A and B are shown apart, each in its own frame.
Chain A
Amino acid sequence: GAVVSQHPSWVICKSGTSVKIECRSLDFQATTMFWYRQFPKQSLMLMATSNEGSKATYEQGVEKDKFLINHASLTLSTLTVTSAHPEDSSFYICSAAGLAEYNEQFFGPGTRLTVL
């Protein structure tokens, strides 16, 4: 199956700093990438959808100026959490969809962010 990597797998940062998370599709070209956030014992919450070369589409309630998404190529998307606060601490997961049989999403391993 398709492989999606995420880096870093975990990060601890101080309040007020910015954190960048990378999502790469390793063996296929992802026409669309998705960013999710998941709090403990809760389901996935879609934050934004991004297509290569265009602006991301953010879900209602997600601040686009706080969560900057760049989808520079068909294999790389980045999420930058700007001026992070403790309430931003969560599990951030990206997924990529290409031309798979069912156009299913392939998920990265996730990034656990802890803001002190």
Chain B
Amino acid sequence: GQNIDQPTEMTATEGAIVQINCTYQTSGFNGLFWYQQHAGEAPTFLSYNVLDGLEEKGRFSSFLSRSKGYSYLLLKELQMKDSASYLCAVKDSNYQLIWGAGTKLIIKP
């Protein structure tokens, strides 16, 4: 079966750095997405990786290793507004998006 694993919850301090990991086992791979979802709101697109390596976009970076079936989202200089759930999703060989359960990130002052 297809499976995406990410931690259920993480806690970090304002101003610090946090890394949210995602491992996947899917039938084929056509890209990995990270989305942010604040409570009661719809997800918003953060990043996309299809080749190995690091993609940097401001305070957020996303890394992919296809051989290891592994990605992480790195958030720097954490702000209180970064408190949200972060969803990892993989597009499989049929270009269907497989969603992880999400990681709830709690930022403490």
Residues of A within 8 A of B (CB): 1, 34, 42-44, 46, 49, 91, 93, 95, 102, 104-110, 112
Asked if B63 is an interface residue, CB under 8 A from chain A, the answer is no
Within B37-57, the residues touching A (CB, 8 Å) are 40-45, 48, 50
The CA of A112 and the CA of B42, in the complex, are separated in Å by 11
User: How far, in Å, is A93 (CB) from chain B's closest CB?
Assistant: 5
User: How far, in Å, is B95 (CB) from chain A's closest CB?
Assistant: 8
The CA of A1 and the CA of B33, in the complex, are separated in Å by 16
Return the contact of A46 from the options B40, B43, B97 (Cβ within 8 A). B97
Interface centre among A44, A46, A105, A112 (most CB of B within 10 A): A44
> What residues of B have a CB within 8 angstroms of the CB of A95 in the complex?
42
Given contacts A46-B99, A107-B43, A109-B42, 13 further A-B contacts (CB under 8 A): A43-B87, A43-B100, A43-B102, A44-B99, A91-B40, A93-B42, A93-B43, A95-B42, A105-B45, A105-B97, A110-B41, A110-B42, A112-B40
